[in-house]
Amino acid sequence: MASSTLAFLLLLCYLGLVFKITMGAAPRKPIDVPFQKNYVPTWAFDHIKYINGGNEVQLYLDKNTGTGFQSSGSYLFGHFSMQMKLVPGDSAGTVTAFYLSSQNSEHDEIDFEFLGNRTGQPYILQTNVFTGGKGDREQRIYLWFDPTKDYHSYSVLWNLYQIVFFVDEVPIRVFKNCKDVGVRFPFDQPMKIYSSLWNGDDWATRGGLEKTDWSKAPFIASYRSFHIDGCEASVEAKFCATQGMRWWDQKEFQDLDGAQYRSLSWVRDKYTIYNYCTDRSRYSSVPPECARDRDL
């Protein structure tokens, strides 16, 4: 009797675990692939250094130029991640970006921008979402670690229901599909993935007060694990041929789960510097997507 009760409890516990696991919405674990598998340089080819057969890549910024790279393919939906180690030491004035963007005039864009700082002062991570050419949705946070010490992963999950920005496993921002309340959502314009390192000292650090110290050049940002798991589509495509069938389309990726919402509010409470959602001097009424995103 006692042992069958125990077995029953164990079964419940097991089911509980399985249930939790299948409810969890962490994207699939990225696979480390070399740069050449998914990316090509965009400009200033001589400012990109390939290490270990392209498993690691470094971007150089000096007084002459920054540099950047982009995905060879264009994608409609998926999971896009990159491990990055940002410019160490005095990085004031430098901007390192990782973003998805479509190529047309009313473009969609999903941005991570890392704003450098003087030695020992914290980076700012600014994110933004453009839909149909309209941006002005900046959020700024401090990170809970030093992004120049080790590699960390930065990723975007994009499906028809939501766009989630992750830092490591932590969702730092979600932009839900709010088409029903008149907010455009990226769904029919394939995007490429881009990264670049450039001089933004007219605005990046303390609003442009801190200038790039060129005596510290070259500034170097490092990258690895060039994972792309998306629906590849031609630039003109209007839909993804396998839509609805891929893992990121499934129920558990259509919303954050409870634990993820708790992580998101932890970031909101502890690390937010700026959120357009709460900027009443800029937007007198709450932008519709903000209420939906539980961003307030």
The one among 29, 206, 238, 270 contacting ligand NAG by CB under 6 A: 206
CB-CB contact of 35 with 50 (8 Å): yes
The one among 117, 148, 195, 260 contacting ligand NAG by CB under 6 A: 117
Q: Residue 204 is encoded by which pair of tokens?
A: 């990046």
Active-site choice (56, 113, 210, 289): 113
Q: How far apart are the first and last CA of the chain?
A: 52
Q: Does 95 bind ligand NAG (CB under 6 A)?
A: no
User: Least separation, in Å, of the C-beta of 123 and ligand NAG?
Assistant: 6
Scanning 7-15, 117-125, 154-162, 261-269 for contacts with ligand NAG by CB under 6 A, the matching segment is: 117-125
Q: Does 211 bind ligand NAG (CB under 6 A)?
A: no
Q: Does 270 bind ligand NAG (CB under 6 A)?
A: no
CB neighbour list of residue 272: distance below 8 Å, 6 or more residues apart: 139, 140, 141
User: CA–CA separation, 167 vs 82, rounded Å?
Assistant: 10
Q: Is 113 noted as a catalytic residue in this protein?
A: yes
Burial 202-214 (b: 16+ CB within 10 A, else e): eebbeeeebebbe
Measure the CA angle with vertex 289, ends 288 and 293; round to 5°: 130
Q: Is 252 noted as a catalytic residue in this protein?
A: no
Which helix (H) or strand (E) segment holds residue 231: the answer is: strand 228-232
The one among 57, 82, 124, 256 contacting ligand NAG by CB under 6 A: 124
Q: Does 205 bind ligand NAG (CB under 6 A)?
A: yes
Catalytic positions? 109, 113
- Binding interface with ligand NAG (CB under 6 A): 115, 117, 121-122, 124, 204-206
